[in-house]
C-alpha cells in the first residue's frame, strides 16, 4: 500500500500516522495519506515564515518564471495525475462533455499560466507641484489554504498561485477526502520552488482549525461549507487575519417564456450536473416559466436517459460516483423528502448499484419552495425544476435563500434578461449560461456564500496590503 508524505521546507516528510483514502467507485483503499499533527503544522508555518523575506524580494518576473516551470512539470505528468484524481475523487477521466479529470487538469494548467502572466503595478494617485502619491501593494506573509474535495487540484491552484505570484508563502491543507493528487503535485514541484515557499500538510479538521487560529498565518483562503467558514472567521480574529471565503451556494436559474429550449437544454444539463452536481457554482434550482416548463422537462429527461453512471476509469462513463458516503446520504435524504412531499421524479431517484457511491442523474418537478431539495444545497446529481407564471415570483424565489454565489437568466431577449439578472442577489450572474468561470474574471459570493474574490487582478489584490507613499515636493 503506497504511503504519501507531507511537504515541509522543501522536504518529503513521513509521518507515524496515516489514514486510508477510499475510491468512491468501489470503496477500496487507493493509498494512505500522511496524518499531520500540530508539530508538523508549526514546522510548516515556520518554514514559510523563514522563506518569506527572500521570496517576497524577488521580482514578479522571477516568481513568474518559476510558476511557469511548475505548469510545465505538471503538464508532463498529466496522465498520472488524472488517474489519481479519478481514483480518489470519482470523476471520470473524460466524462460527459469532457468535464471529468481531464477538464480539471486542463483548468489547472490554464489557471497557472494565465495567473502567472498578471502583475500588480504601482498606481500613481497624484503627481503635481505639491506631491507625488503612489499606491503600492505588498505581500501579506504566510497564507493558509484550506481546500475541498470536489476539485482538489484545481482549487488548490486557485489558492496558491496568486498567493505565490504576489510574493507570499503558503501552507496548504487539502481535504482529508482527496489529498493524494495534491500531495503528488507537491512531490513533483518541490525542487522548483525555494524551500519553505510551499508546504503541504494533510490531516483531519483539527489541522484546519489550528491554521485558522495560528498567530503566524496572515491570511486564510478557504473553499467549503458556510458552517466551517463561520468557524474560521471566528478563529481568525486572534490576529485579525485576512480572509477569502468561498462558501458554496444554491444557485438559481430563471428560464423565461421566450427561451430557445432546444438551444439551452444541453447547457442547462451540463451546468447543473458538472462534476456530478458537486460544484459550488453549479445550477441547483431551475425556475421555468409555465409556458415552456413541460418542453424543457421533456428535453432534459431525454438527455438524462442517455447518460451512463459508473466507474470513472471506464472510458464510456459519463458520470462517476458521489465522492463520499456522507454526500451520498445527503442526496438520498433530500430525494426521499421530496418524494414524501409529493414531488414527481421524471428520471432517476433510485439507487441501482451500491458497489460504490453511485446516484443516477435525477430530475424532479412538481416541487415548491420550502421543500428541502429546493432550499438546501444538494451538491449532487439531482435537480429540482420549479414552475412559475409571474417573473416577480421567480425573482423573489431566487433571492429568498441566504446563499448568493451565482445565478442565471435564460432568454432570447438579452436586454430583458440583463434587467432581471441585475436584480439577482449573487456574486456572478450569467445570461444563457451558468457556472462558466475564467482566470481573468473575478469570482466570489455574497450573503452566506462568503466574501472576497478570486481570479483576475482583483483576486491578486486579495493577497496584498496597501501602502500609500506620499512624496512631498514643497
Q: How far apart are CA 270 and CA 60, in angstroms?
A: 38
- Which three three-digit cell numbers place residue 161? 498561485
Q: How far apart are CA 454 and CA 441, in angstroms?
A: 8
Q: Are 347 and 306 in contact (CB under 8 A)?
A: no
Torsion angle in degrees (nearest 10) through CA of 424, 413, 368, 330? -70
**306 CB burial (10 A radius; 0-12, 13-18, 19+):** exposed
Sheet of 6-8: strand order equals: 11-13, 6-8, 198-200, 169-173, 142-146, 219-223, 242-246, 450-451
Catalytic choice (280, 297, 347, 426): 280
- The question of whether 246 is a catalytic residue gets the answer yes
- Which three three-digit cell numbers place residue 359? 446516484
Strand partners, 287: 254, 386
Q: How far apart are CA 423 and CA 337, in angstroms?
A: 31
Q: How many CB atoms lie within 10 A of CB 266?
A: 13
Which spans in 77-192 are helix H?
A: 78-89, 101-116, 152-165, 180-189
Distance of CA 447 to the CA centre of its chain: 17
Q: Which residues contact 173 (CB under 8 A, 6 or more apart)?
A: 144, 145, 146, 147, 200, 201, 202, 203, 207, 208, 211
Q: How many CB atoms lie within 10 A of CB 472?
A: 8
Q: How far apart are CA 462 and CA 209, in angstroms?
A: 21
Helix (H, G, I), strand (E, B) or coil at 242: strand
Q: How far apart are CA 169 and CA 160, in angstroms?
A: 8
Lookup result for grid cell 432517476:
348
Catalytic choice (246, 377, 425, 454): 246
- The question of whether 39 is a catalytic residue gets the answer no
Q: How far apart are CA 393 and CA 127, in angstroms?
A: 52
Angle formed by the axes of helices 152-165 and 60-76, nearest 10°: 160
Among residues 273, 257, 458, 267, the alpha carbon closest in space to that of 348 is found at 273
Q: Are 280 and 150 in contact (CB under 8 A)?
A: yes
Mind telling me the catalytic residues?
246, 280
Amino acid at each position: 500500500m503506497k504511503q504519501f508524505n507531507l511537504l515541509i521546507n522543501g522536504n518529503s516528510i513521513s509521518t507515524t500516522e496515516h489514514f486510508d483514502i477510499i475510491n468512491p467507485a468501489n470503496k477500496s483503499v487507493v493509498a494512505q495519506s500522511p496524518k499531520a499533527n500540530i508539530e508538523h503544522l508549526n514546522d510548516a508555518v515556520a518554514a514559510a515564515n523563514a522563506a518569506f523575506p527572500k521570496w517576497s524580494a524577488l521580482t514578479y518576473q522571477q516568481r513568474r518564471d518559476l510558476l511557469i516551470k511548475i505548469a510545465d512539470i505538471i503538464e508532463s505528468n498529466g496522465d498520472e495525475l488524472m488517474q489519481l484524481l479519478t481514483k480518489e475523487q470519482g470523476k471520470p477521466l473524460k466524462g460527459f462533455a469532457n468535464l471529468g479529470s481531464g477538464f480539471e487538469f486542463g483548468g489547472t494548467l490554464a489557471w497557472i499560466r494565465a495567473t502567472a502572466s498578471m502583475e500588480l503595478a504601482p498606481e500613481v494617485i497624484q503627481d503635481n507641484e505639491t506631491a507625488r502619491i503612489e499606491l503600492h501593494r505588498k505581500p501579506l506573509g504566510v497564507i493558509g489554504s484550506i481546500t475541498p474535495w470536489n476539485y482538489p487540484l484545481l482549487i488548490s491552484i486557485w489558492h496558491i498561485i496568486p498567493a505565490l505570484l504576489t510574493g507570499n508563502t503558503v501552507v496548504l491543507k487539502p481535504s482529508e477526502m482527496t489529498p493524494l493528487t495534491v500531495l503528488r503535485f507537491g512531490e513533483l514541484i518541490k525542487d522548483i520552488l525555494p524551500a519553505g515557499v510551499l508546504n503541504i500538510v494533510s490531516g483531519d479538521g483539527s489541522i484546519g482549525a489550528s491554521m485558522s487560529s495560528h498567530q503566524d498565518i496572515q491570511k486564510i483562503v478557504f473553499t467549503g461549507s458556510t458552517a466551517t467558514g463561520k468557524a474560521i472567521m471566528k478563529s481568525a480574529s486572534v490576529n485579525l487575519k485576512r480572509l477569502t471565503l468561498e462558501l458554496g451556494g444554491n444557485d438559481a436559474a430563471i428560464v423565461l417564456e421566450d427561451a430557445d429550449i432546444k438551444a439551452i437544454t444541453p447547457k442547462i444539463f451540463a451546468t447543473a450536473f458538472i462534476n456530478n452536481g458537486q460544484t459550488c457554482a453549479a445550477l441547483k434550482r431551475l425556475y421555468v416559466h409555465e409556458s415552456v416548463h413541460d418542453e424543457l422537462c421533456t428535453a432534459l429527461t431525454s438527455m438524462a436517459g442517455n447518460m451512463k453512471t459508473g466507474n470513472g476509469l471506464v472510458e464510456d462513463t459519463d458520470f462517476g460516483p458521489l465522492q463520499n458516503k456522507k454526500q451520498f446520504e445527503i442526496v438520498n435524504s433530500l430525494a426521499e423528502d421530496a418524494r414524501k412531499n409529493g414531488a414527481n421524479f421524471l428520471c432517476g431517484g433510485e439507487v441501482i448499484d451500491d458497489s460504490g457511491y453511485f446516484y443516477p442523474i435525477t430530475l424532479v418537478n412538481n416541487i415548491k419552495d420550502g421543500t428541502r431539495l429546493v432550499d438546501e444545497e444538494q451538491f449532487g446529481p439531482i435537480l429540482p425544476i420549479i414552475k412559475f407564471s409571474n417573473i416577480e415570483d421567480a425573482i423573489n424565489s431566487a433571492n429568498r435563500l441566504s446563499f448568493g454565489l451565482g445565478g442565471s437568466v435564460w432568454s432570447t431577449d438579452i436586454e430583458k434578461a440583463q434587467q432581471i439578472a441585475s436584480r439577482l442577489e449573487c456574486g456572478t450572474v450569467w445570461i444563457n449560461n451558468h457556472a462558466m468561470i475564467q482566470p481573468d474574471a473575478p469570482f466570489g459570493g455574497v450573503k452566506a456564500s462568503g466574501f472576497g474574490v478570486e481570479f483576475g487582478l482583483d483576486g491578486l489584490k486579495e493577497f496584498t496590503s496597501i501602502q500609500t507613499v506620499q512624496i512631498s515636493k514643497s
